[in-house]
Amino acid sequence: MIFSIIVQAPPVQAQGAETALRFARAVLAAGHRIHRVFFYRDGVHNGTALTCTPQDENSIPAQWQALAAEHDLDLVVCIAAAVRRGLIDESEAGRYGHRHWNLADGFELSGLGQLVEACLTSDRVVTFGGRS
């Protein structure tokens, strides 16, 4: 079956990001395909390259990166939600005149159309939310 996963929960403050990650691993372990993971709202912070995590804690963004590299996952971060929150790639940094950027490798900024396309293309869409 083809799954897509929507993550609206930020790492650290809410558990939803970690639950989504475990769910994604289980989907793949069961032999299903993940068409896309779409990060929306404060969930865009899953795509940061700049976490500095204590050695005994897991970095959620790094775990997404590792999973994506292993399984060739499409990790899409909602561009409108991201740039408002200060999560940008090199291209957006150039457009807005910022010297720095912070989108982690393996993530891609794109529009909400990718969310809609994922709904149409996937057999199952599963959302992991925060609260507010």
Partner 1 sequence: MSAASILVITRSAPYGSSAARDALDVALTCSVFEQPVSLLFLDDAVFQLLKGQSPGGIGQKNLNAVQQSLPLYDIDRLYVGARALAERGLHASDLILPVQTIDEAELASLLADHTTVLSV
Partner 2 sequence: MILHTLNQPPANAACFERCREAMSSDDTLLLIEDGVYWALPAFAARLESLSGRVKVLAADAAARGVDLPAAHCIDDQAFVALCVSHDKVVSWF
Q: Which residues pair with 128 in a beta bridge?
A: 7
Site for partner 2 (CB under 8 A): which residue of 13, 26, 66, 94? 26
Tell whether residue 33 is a contact of partner 2 (CB under 8 A): no
Which string of x and - marks every residue 113-132 that binds partner 1 (by CB under 8 A)?
x-xxx-xx----x-x-x-xx
Tell whether residue 52 is a contact of partner 1 (CB under 8 A): no
Q: Which does 95 bind (CB under 5 to 8 A by kind): partner 2, partner 1, a copy of itself, none?
A: a copy of itself
The DSSP secondary-structure symbol of 103 reads B
Region of residue 86 (phi > 0: left; psi between -120 and 50: alpha; otherwise: beta): left
Give the shortest CB-30-to-a copy of itself separation in angstroms.
30
Query: Which of 17, 118, 39, 131 has the alpha carbon at shortest distance from 85?
Result: 39
The rounded distance, in Å, linking the Cα atoms of 87 and 49 is: 9
Tell whether residue 12 is a contact of partner 1 (CB under 8 A): yes
Phi/psi of residue 41, each to 5°? 55, -140
Nearer to a copy of itself, 21 or 34 (CB): 21
Tell whether residue 61 is a contact of a copy of itself (CB under 8 A): yes
The rounded distance, in Å, linking the Cα atoms of 112 and 7 is: 13
Residues 64-93 that bind partner 2 (CB under 8 A): none
